Amino acid sequence: MNIDWLIVGAGFSGCVLAEQIATRLDEKVLIVEKRDHLGGNAYDCYDENGVLVHLYGPHLFHTNSKKIWDYLSKFTEWKIYHHHAQSVIDGKSVPVPFNLNTLYRLFPQGYASRMEEKLIEQFGFGNKVPILKLLEDSDGDIQQLAEYIYKKVFYGYTTKQWGMDPKELDASVTGRVPIHISRDDRYFQDKYQGIPMQGYTQMFRNMINHPNIKLLLNTDYKELGDYFKNSKKIYTGPIDAYFDYSFGELPYRSLEFHSVHHPDQDTFQPTAQVNYPNDYDFTRITEYKKITSQKIKGTTTVFEYPCPYSPQKNDPYYPIPKKENHELFQKYQSEAQKLKGQVWFVGRLAEYKYYNMDQVVARAHHVFEKEIVQYKQNGSSRKRLT
């Protein structure tokens, strides 16, 4: 089999790059995927009760980039979907991210109205404030409210999710769900939000449906040995695994998903996602029908139990954004630099970055435009000179 490119991993990074190389360079690609399906962690499928679920946790597509939205729209139509989540705090189910509605739901009217005024005065209506920034506010009342939010919304959830205190992590982690000085209960405010109409998996099938692209499932690329040693390679798996953990294992966080079907219930909870920061060992429950609007009797819920990651045992779902982990990653990155022009490292695991789906698509496009196309141009100009 003659191929120009070997791509390791059939997730967003691998599929987008395969599509770009196949259509724009007219070169042949083999995608090798160790799982038995394409789509990476964005894979969705029907469970044994016929409910469409996201096998690796809820995937809500959101972006402010028209370019990314238009690009994916070539492979799917969208069901417009704006995600809502609630969190159980002091026995009440309230909107998260914490916003002015949450404030009124948790506190007496007089206090809530005084704090609303203060928050708007200090940060401006419509703005977002990361909890770690709110904690540092010089106003005593705001600081007190911040301490309450930190304790009730962030502390328990984060210690479960990451196995550490929120302050030990990079501020960008809790900064993903900032306090929103508004009445907007949506989880995201991006301009474009939706779920692929026929599911993510079908979108990936459409993306790689090209005569230049072949997909080999159930195969670790290492099993191929030197078979494709002359092909250029794109690697989207964990970077430490690529280098046989030569500097030690990079820490990732993993999850266990426990699925429960409720055959006689049409609805289980008020919103698609409910977080449990202060009770139980799981962090959140997702009810998939509320995301997909699937018309089916019964409903399926999935409980997420965070756990440590260990190679060979479970999957590396989250890179852990923390200074010392970044330093270890940089050692691997400098090894990756030595392979420039032979191997490209792209994606959430290969770049050890807490990327969302749209960021991964943007990154794959960037690598294609700025590195691969340029590499081809340099390669051909070198050829012309010799």
The binding site for ligand FAD (CB under 6 A) comprises: 8-14, 32-35, 40-42, 56-60, 220-222, 236-237, 255, 317, 347-349, 355-358, 360
Closest separation in Å from C-beta 120 to ligand FAD: 29
Give 5 or 187: the residue with its C-beta nearer to ligand UDP: 187
Whose structure tokens read 């230049």? Answer: 212
In this structure, how many other beta carbons lie within 10 angstroms of the beta carbon of residue 369?
A: 12
Nearer CB in complex with ligand UDP: 174/300: 174
- Residue window 114-153: x/- pattern of binding to ligand UDP, with contact defined by CB under 6 A: ---------------------------------------x
What whole-number distance in Å separates Cα of residue 225 and Cα of residue 222?
6
* Residue (of 47, 16, 8, 40) closest to 287 by Cα position: 47
Smallest Cα–Cα separation from 281: which of 196, 193, 170, 156?
Answer: 156
The least CB distance from residue 83 to ligand UDP, in Å, is 10
Residue with smaller CB distance to ligand FAD, 58 or 196: 58
177 is a site residue for ligand UDP (CB under 6 A): yes
Among ligand UDP, ligand FAD, none, what binds residue 360 when CB lies within 5 to 8 Å by partner kind? ligand FAD
**Closest residue to ligand UDP, Cβ-based?**
157
Q: How far is the CB of 369 from ligand UDP (least distance, A)?
A: 27
List the one residue from 63, 158, 201, 271 that touches ligand UDP (CB under 6 A): 158
Long-range contacts of 167-174 (CB under 8 A, 24+ apart): 167/132, 168/322, 169/320, 169/321, 169/322, 170/321, 170/322, 170/323, 171/130, 171/132, 172/321, 172/354, 173/321, 173/354, 174/130, 174/131, 174/132
Nearer to ligand FAD, 120 or 307 (CB): 307
DSSP 268-289: -SSSSEEE-SSSSS--EEEETH
Per CB under 6 A, residues contacting ligand UDP are 87, 96, 153-154, 157-158, 161, 173-174, 176-177, 275, 277
